[in-house]
């Protein structure tokens, strides 16, 4: 929280946080270094300061021009959002929900990294990707750690199902790689030792994890970065 009581926004979960450093360390950047977290915190402070400096003032002439627009309410809402203000309870536009899901999925990997580059306004617009987020929340891994798909896929295009599953598996792969590196945090394991350990985790298709860890070895340097393998399976 800023000294004057203003909340900083986490660029990953897009929620205002009472204490951003603690939040990042416990949740959104749990597996990252302190240096990496410091960079994110500094950027959040800059965005908060910019928002407080420019986001709370309106020009009278600008408001007058909005009122003269054919769709006054829409124009005013757009202006509020542009200034990083939140409009709750806004009705969703009439559209083909399945088509919207595909459009969101078409963003692919670009959407996964967009959080770090989006501006302060976008942090607050949690409902911008409402259709996609709703679909993601309905996905879960089975007991064996495999993608289970959407609960009700009848009205969801197969193409979207495929894209969502692909992104889910990529995220799970990264979690398992980090978990493995944290377990062997002090020294590089041998091929046989690592293969034996991966087998005991109950994961399938561990060849890619084995190759990634051995090829791009980097000690974590922190034993407290260990995550329970069962928790990772359930992601």
Per-residue pLDDT of the chain (235 residues; tens, 9 = 90+): 444 556 788 888 877 888 889 888 888 888 888 888 999 999 888 888 887 887 777 888 888 888 888 788 888 888 887 776 767 677 766 544 444 444 444 444 444 443 333 333 333 333 334 444 555 555 444 334 555 555 555 555 667 777 777 777 787 788 888 888 888 877 788 888 888 888 888 887 788 888 888 888 766 544 444 444 444 444 4
Supply the pLDDT for residue 143. Answer: 33
45-67 in b/e burial notation, b at 16+ Cβ within 10 A? Answer: eebbeebeeeeeeeeeeeeeebe
- Measured from the Cβ of residue 17, the count of other Cβ atoms closer than 10 Å reads 18
Helices (H), 150-227: 158-183, 191-200, 207-215
Structure tokens, 184: 């062997």
The pTM of the full predicted model, rounded to 2 decimals, is 0.35
Q: What is the pLDDT of residue 229?
A: 44
Spatial separation of the C-alpha atoms in residues 233 and 235, rounded to whole Å: 6
| 3-state SS assignment for residue 76 | helix
pLDDT of residue 150: 54
| pLDDT score at 189 | 84
Q: Coil, strand, or helix at residue 16?
A: strand
The per-residue pLDDT for 226 is 42
CB atoms within 10 A of CB 103: 14
Cβ(56)–Cβ(45) below 8 Å: no
User: What does the pLDDT read at residue 119?
Assistant: 37
Compute the chain's Rg from CA coordinates: 22
CB count within 10 Å of CB 6 equals: 14
CA distances from 95 to 88, 100, 103, 164, 199 (A): 19, 8, 12, 21, 47
């Amino acid at each position: 929280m800023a000294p004057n009581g203003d909340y900083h926004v986490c660029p990953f979960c897009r929620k205002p946080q009472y204490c951003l450093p603690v939040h990042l360390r416990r949740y959104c950047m749990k597996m990252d270094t302190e240096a990496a977290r410091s960079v994110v915190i500094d950027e959040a402070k800059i965005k908060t300061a910019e928002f407080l400096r420019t986001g709370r003032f309106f020009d009278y002439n600008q408001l007058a021009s909005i009122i003269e627009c054919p769709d006054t309410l829409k124009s005013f809402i757009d202006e509020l959002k542009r200034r990083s203000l939140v409009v709750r309870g806004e009705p969703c536009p009439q559209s083909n929900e399945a088509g919207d899901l595909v459009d969101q999925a078409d963003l692919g990997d670009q959407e996964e990294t967009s959080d770090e580059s989006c501006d302060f306004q976008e942090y607050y617009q949690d409902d911008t990707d409402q259709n996609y987020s709703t679909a993601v929340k309905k996905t879960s891994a089975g007991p064996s750690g495999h993608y289970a798909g959407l609960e009700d896929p009848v009205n969801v295009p197969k193409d979207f199902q495929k894209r969502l599953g692909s992104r889910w598996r990529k995220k799970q792969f990264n979690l398992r790689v980090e978990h493995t590196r944290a377990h062997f945090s002090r020294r590089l394991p041998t091929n046989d030792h690592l293969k034996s350990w991966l087998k005991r985790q109950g994961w399938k298709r561990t060849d890619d994890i084995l190759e990634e860890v051995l090829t791009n070895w980097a000690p974590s340097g922190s034993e407290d970065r260990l995550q329970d393998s069962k928790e990772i399976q359930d992601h």
